[in-house]
Amino acid sequence: MDLCHVPTAREKGWYLALMAPNVKGSNYAWLDPSRLYCHPQGLQDCLSDLLQPFQGDPVDMVAGIDAMGFILGAAAAARLQKGFLAIRKAGHLCVQTQAQPYTDYSGREKVMEVRIDAISPGLHILLVDQWVETGGTMRAAIQLVEQLGGLSFPCIPTGVAAICIEDSEGGRWIQEHYKCAHCVPPHLQPHFNRHQ
């Protein structure tokens, strides 16, 4: 699809056609959404679809997950006129942090961390990532957010937003326990779950 073309009928998810399939092999994700971010109207409509379910909900800050979640998360924060919290892979922050181990979609053990000096107890935080495949990364981010602020007055996840939340065990758990938004229409969800 031409990066300047905007379809006349812009149904939810029309911009998903901008994404490119993996051409580099099994060490990479099956689909690359980054081309979608290059399309001005595609990015705006994607953000609108992700944020629409949270209209009227308390959101004090948006958190994006390293690294591709930074793009959508920062854009969502700007749209909502809220601050942005970067949830980083361990070892990148030179300030006091809270850490959380997790297993990512590829089965690798990792650690993520977040700075604690920008957080006030009881903040409502919208968590954003590019994709939720197995749910391990997002679940660790949720745990980090819930630990911030301390046991007596923890931060509260307002919800989870991603281009796609796959119908995996972890994806279902997240959708059962938290308000979620994603961009894949129901009739296309089986194709995304099968990575087609």
In terms of Cα–Cα distance, which of 126, 142, 131, 117 is closest to 73? 126
pLDDT of residue 1: 60
62-89 confidence digits (pLDDT tens): 999 999 999 999 999 999 999 999 999 9
Pure H helices in 108-168: 136-147
Residue 155 in tokens: 């931060």
Residue 176 has φ and ψ, to the nearest 5°, of -75, -30
Residue 151: pLDDT band by 50, 70, 90 thresholds? low
Query: What percent of the chain shows pLDDT beyond 70?
Result: 97
**Segment 102-115, tens digit of pLDDT:** 998 888 899 999 99
Distance CA 142, CA 155 (A): 10
* Model pTM score: 0.93
Q: Which domains does the chain have, with CATH numbers?
A: 14-19+32-193 (3.40.50.2020)
Summarize the confidence of residues 20-34 as an average pLDDT.
87
Is 20 in contact with 35 (CB distance < 8 Å)? yes
Q: What percent of the chain has pLDDT over 90?
A: 74
So what's the pLDDT on residue 150? Answer: 67
